[in-house]
A and B are shown apart, each in its own frame.
Chain A
Amino acid sequence: MTSVMIVDDEKYVRMGIKEETDWALIGCEVVAEAANGEEALEKAEATRPDLVISDIRMPKMDGIELAEKLIEKYPSIKVIFLTAYNEFEYARQAVRIGVSDYLLKPFKDGELEASVQRLLHLHPNTPASVKELENTLIPLKDKAEISNRYVQTALTYIEEHFADLDFSIGKLADSMGVSEGHISRLFKSETDVGINNYLTRYRIRKAMDYLKDVQVKVYEVAEKVGYQDIAYFSNTFKKLVGKSPSDYQSNGLE
């Protein structure tokens, strides 16, 4: 799990980012929040986050100074700036101090997830094959590594039924003859991911496979992997892959 710290002087923004971002889906966990740079530095000391999402304009210590200090202290730390400015000057400074990305406020649903996914998993330091990239971007479980038979069965069920438009945990539980709550807990503890999130990951991985064919239409793919709503599919796809389905179809992960 990637640990995340959120820094913004507005309570609603911090809360919103924490609550409304699909952290679990992309394998992240919010470990700390801070209202300004100073506080963020202290909390970073204690929690050692892998990723910091920070506003630029803040009292006491602004985001730029914070990022400089964090990168100096923890060279492997990643920083994403959130800013209402789209002026070039900020972008230039951000790049200079090694900030990994920046988002314009207010951003759309899914943009933050996409940015995090791109930042954490794409463009690795060592060259990797497409398969490896896909695996780090959206990790799936190998059944052979799973000891629990129930979970194995659940994985098989997902592999067989991911394209069902009416897929539900209830049906999965029914097919196995166990309670919904039981299999959910069991699955989560074995794989670190909830069944729904895992299903989503699996569907998107499948979608990526389908989209390798340049002839196929995006809405066909959406339907093939169990989505009725193309907008929702596109949004989810973007969260996990970092770019829209049509972009991915024409350009791949580059």
Chain B
Amino acid sequence: MGFIRHSFKRRLFFIILSVTLVLVIFGGILTIQGFQARIRADHEKEDHEQEIAIGDKVDDILKISESVLDKISESDALRKALTPGPKNDLDTYSALYEVTADIRDYAVVDLYLGGNSKFSTRRGVVSEDLPTNYAVLREADKAEGETVYAMDPYDATEDGATMIIARKITGVGAKGYAVIRITQTELRRILAGSFNARDGFMLTDKYFRPFCLMGTAESKNNLSVIRKNLFKNDLYNKDIEENVYISEVGDSGLISIYITPPAFEKSAVHAGYQIVLMQVVISVLLCLLVASRLSTSFAKPINTLTVAMKQFRKGDFDTKIDLNREDEFGQLASGFNKMTARLKDTMRERVEAERKVNEARIELMQAQLNPHFLYNTLDTIKWVAKANQVPEVATLSSSLATILRTGISENQFCMLESELDLVRNYCDIQKIRFDDCFDLEVDVADSIAKAYVPKLILQPLVENSIIHGLEGRSDGRIKITADRIFDAKENGESTLVITVTDNGKGISDEMIKLIETDDPEALKGHLGLKNVNTIIRLYYGSEYGVSAKRTDTGTEMTVRLPFSTETPVKEREITP
């Protein structure tokens, strides 16, 4: 079974073959058998009719004979002829000829007195005598007026005999008998027209001794076989190929045997089976062909696919399948092609992304000083400054350290409160640098300060205010406020709005336009602002970001982004 299971082709072949063979063999045998049975039945019917026809003929002869014998028994003239005493031969003969008119065509009728034939319808010679102490006359004597059928003891052979039908005429003084003789030749002549030339017919007495053998029965073989079978108590038609129909003729004790040739010649049946065998052979060959064709039709695309898969697995993302079919295999192939194309794109994107990340990493590594060294140095600067009573340097150093820590940190998000802290540190530094020319005011509720924002989004705005807005002023004020605005849709989402206002000279229309154009390239000179917008839109989409407006007293910049108290899931890599 493993041999079949391991090959799709063989499996297919095996399945198709099983189905076909079952159909061919069972179908063939059934057809032959059914056909045979039907023909046989027809044949038997025909045979039976034939047998009845010939039986009737025989019966007719016997009936006529019977009636002739009846008439003889009843004829006074003839009775008188058999009674001792004077008799008139002319009367006798005329009576005899009268009563035997029906039968004289083929039979001879004698009147016997004892064993001697006294009157006869035979022309010329009188019939020979018959023994009285055995054979037909003795039986007729015993039968006392009943008709007996017997063979002419003088001419009985294995091929046939003259049939003698005799009856004792009772009521006359002597032993008188009426005897009808029908010769074999006459019998054959009468019956000849009643059966088919290829059939055979036998008429025998109750001991199966033949009166006549006709047609195919003339060979006598069958008769002796039947006799032997009956003698041995076997079925009578054992060892006989032909169909044999045996029946008794009336109550005469005669037996008619009708023999017909078998409906089928053995060779015909044989030929039928040979045809089935040929069909089987042809089926096997056809199945082989079909299985091979089918499996090729299946296996070819599968093989193509397997090869393509292997190729693909080895890293050839350009693998394509061209089956040129429109069936399921065609669909599979086009699906495969789509998949490889998609995967190729994905791979390319990933490689590209990886390359960018790696580049960024290398850049970062190259740009990075050991932060430990950096912070320790800043710490030392702080203490040295303190020791030398320069508190500004201490503040610069520790504020710078805080800003750097946030800037270098790998976290991309921080709480608003740490961002505000960073802005405070930044302002501490800027205040020292620009001689305390401005104040920072932060008014943000604790609950809002817990929101997460991308880090370093406020510092650039404050920087913009200090550098551009408050330039040259000594009473600058920067105010940062933040609010949480719930969406009208009541889906629980809310927007964090952070506002940075200053009392500076006010932002230029040009800048407002530049911020609103959403074109990062245009803001090139204003790196910080550009970054804030880019970062927020990359994270949250273009409906968020920075907007600016000029007010009566200065500039108001607004940052809008979704309110969230959890670190947002990073969806997209920020690409510089």
Tell me, yes or no, whether A250 is within 8 Å of chain B by CB: yes
Residues 96 to 127 of chain A near chain B (Cβ within 8 Å): 104-109
Tell me, yes or no, whether A75 is within 8 Å of chain B by CB: no
Hey, which chain A residues are within 8 Å of B397, CB to CB?
106
Tell me, yes or no, whether A213 is within 8 Å of chain B by CB: no
Asked whether A106 and B398 contact (CB < 8 A) given A15-B387, A16-B382, A250-B446, the answer is yes
CA distance A34 to B382 in the complex (A): 20
CA distance A254 to B375 in the complex (A): 31
Tell me, yes or no, whether A145 is within 8 Å of chain B by CB: no
Tell me, yes or no, whether B281 is within 8 Å of chain A by CB: no
Pairwise interchain contact A12-B383, C-beta atoms closer than 8 A: yes
The bracket for how many chain A residues form the interface is 20 to 34
Hey, which chain B residues are within 8 Å of A20, CB to CB?
383, 386-387
Chain B, residues 367-394, CB within 8 Å of chain A (1/0): the string is 0000110111011111110110000001
CB distance from A8 to the nearest CB of B (A): 9
Most buried by B among A10, A105, A107: A105
Chain A, residues 16-43, CB within 8 Å of chain B (1/0): the string is 1101100000000000000000000000
Tell me, yes or no, whether B561 is within 8 Å of chain A by CB: no
CB distance from A21 to the nearest CB of B (A): 10
Hey, which chain A residues are within 8 Å of B394, CB to CB?
109
Tell me, yes or no, whether B238 is within 8 Å of chain A by CB: no
Closest to A13 in B: B383
Hey, which chain B residues are within 8 Å of A74, CB to CB?
none
Pairwise interchain contact B387-A107, C-beta atoms closer than 8 A: no
CB distance from B535 to the nearest CB of A (A): 23
Closest to B374 in A: A84
Hey, which chain B residues are within 8 Å of A12, CB to CB?
380, 383-384, 387
Hey, which chain B residues are within 8 Å of A86, CB to CB?
405, 409
CB distance from B403 to the nearest CB of A (A): 12
Hey, which chain A residues are within 8 Å of B402, CB to CB?
108
Chain B, residues 9-53, CB within 8 Å of chain A (1/0): the string is 000000000000000000000000000000000000000000000
Asked whether A106 and B378 contact (CB < 8 A) given A84-B371, A86-B405, the answer is yes
Tell me, yes or no, whether A167 is within 8 Å of chain B by CB: no
Chain A, residues 66-94, CB within 8 Å of chain B (1/0): the string is 00000000000000000011100000000
Tell me, yes or no, whether B401 is within 8 Å of chain A by CB: yes
CB distance from A45 to the nearest CB of B (A): 27
CA distance A213 to B338 in the complex (A): 69
CB-contact partner of B376 in A105, A107, A250, under 8 A: A105
CB distance from A10 to the nearest CB of B (A): 6
Closest to A106 in B: B379
Chain B, residues 202-233, CB within 8 Å of chain A (1/0): the string is 00000000000000000000000000000000
CB distance from A143 to the nearest CB of B (A): 37
Hey, which chain A residues are within 8 Å of B380, CB to CB?
10, 12-13
Hey, which chain B residues are within 8 Å of A206, CB to CB?
none
Closest to A55 in B: B376
Hey, which chain B residues are within 8 Å of A224, CB to CB?
none
Pairwise interchain contact B383-A15, C-beta atoms closer than 8 A: yes
CB distance from B78 to the nearest CB of A (A): 152
Hey, which chain A residues are within 8 Å of B372, CB to CB?
57, 84-85
Closest to B447 in A: A250
Pairwise interchain contact A104-B382, C-beta atoms closer than 8 A: no
CA distance A19 to B382 in the complex (A): 13
Pairwise interchain contact B386-A19, C-beta atoms closer than 8 A: yes
Pairwise interchain contact B387-A19, C-beta atoms closer than 8 A: yes
Hey, which chain A residues are within 8 Å of B382, CB to CB?
16, 106
Pairwise interchain contact A105-B375, C-beta atoms closer than 8 A: yes
Pairwise interchain contact A84-B376, C-beta atoms closer than 8 A: yes
Closest to B445 in A: A250
Hey, which chain A residues are within 8 Å of B383, CB to CB?
10, 12-13, 15-17, 20
Number of B residues with CB within 8 Å of any CB on chain A: 22
CB distance from A16 to the nearest CB of B (A): 3
CA distance A84 to B371 in the complex (A): 8
Pairwise interchain contact B375-A16, C-beta atoms closer than 8 A: no
CA distance A107 to B372 in the complex (A): 14
CA distance A84 to B384 in the complex (A): 17
CA distance A107 to B381 in the complex (A): 12
Chain B, residues 351-374, CB within 8 Å of chain A (1/0): the string is 000000000000000000001101
Hey, which chain A residues are within 8 Å of B371, CB to CB?
84
Pairwise interchain contact A84-B375, C-beta atoms closer than 8 A: yes
CA distance A21 to B92 in the complex (A): 184
Pairwise interchain contact A16-B386, C-beta atoms closer than 8 A: yes
CA distance A10 to B383 in the complex (A): 10
Closest to B398 in A: A106
CB distance from B424 to the nearest CB of A (A): 10
Hey, which chain A residues are within 8 Å of B384, CB to CB?
12, 16
Hey, which chain B residues are within 8 Å of A85, CB to CB?
372
CB-contact partner of B387 in A10, A16, A104, A250, under 8 A: A16
Closest to B425 in A: A108
Pairwise interchain contact B398-A13, C-beta atoms closer than 8 A: no
CB-contact partner of B405 in A16, A104, A108, A246, under 8 A: A104
CA distance A57 to B374 in the complex (A): 14
CA distance A109 to B382 in the complex (A): 10
Asked whether A13 and B379 contact (CB < 8 A) given A86-B405, A108-B398, the answer is yes
CB distance from A83 to the nearest CB of B (A): 9
CB distance from B49 to the nearest CB of A (A): 115
Most buried by B among A19, A104, A106, A250: A106
Hey, which chain A residues are within 8 Å of B375, CB to CB?
84, 104-106
Asked whether A105 and B386 contact (CB < 8 A) given A57-B372, A84-B371, A85-B372, the answer is no
CB distance from A218 to the nearest CB of B (A): 12
CB distance from B386 to the nearest CB of A (A): 5
Hey, which chain A residues are within 8 Å of B405, CB to CB?
86, 104
Closest to B446 in A: A250
Hey, which chain B residues are within 8 Å of A16, CB to CB?
382-384, 386-387
Closest to B375 in A: A84
Closest to B401 in A: A106
Hey, which chain B residues are within 8 Å of A108, CB to CB?
398, 402
CA distance A104 to B403 in the complex (A): 13
CA distance A19 to B383 in the complex (A): 10
Residues 441 to 475 of chain B near chain A (Cβ within 8 Å): 446
CB distance from B397 to the nearest CB of A (A): 6
Residues 392 to 418 of chain B near chain A (Cβ within 8 Å): 394, 397-398, 401-402, 405, 409
CB distance from B533 to the nearest CB of A (A): 29
CB distance from B560 to the nearest CB of A (A): 26
Closest to A111 in B: B398
CB distance from A180 to the nearest CB of B (A): 24
CB distance from A80 to the nearest CB of B (A): 15
CA distance A19 to B386 in the complex (A): 9
CB distance from A31 to the nearest CB of B (A): 20
23 A-B residue pairs with CB within 8 Å? A10-B379, A13-B383, A15-B383, A15-B387, A16-B382, A16-B384, A16-B387, A20-B387, A84-B376, A86-B409, A104-B405, A105-B375, A105-B376, A105-B378, A105-B401, A106-B375, A106-B379, A106-B381, A106-B382, A106-B398, A106-B401, A108-B398, A108-B402
* New contact pairs (10) apart from A106-B381, A106-B382, CB-CB < 8 Å: A12-B384, A15-B387, A16-B382, A16-B387, A20-B387, A104-B375, A106-B378, A107-B398, A108-B402, A109-B394
Nearest first, the 3 closest Cβ-Cβ pairs linking A and B are A16-B383, A84-B375, A106-B379
Task: Give the B-binding residues of A (Cβ under 8 A).
Answer: 10, 12-13, 15-17, 19-20, 57, 84-86, 104-109, 246, 250
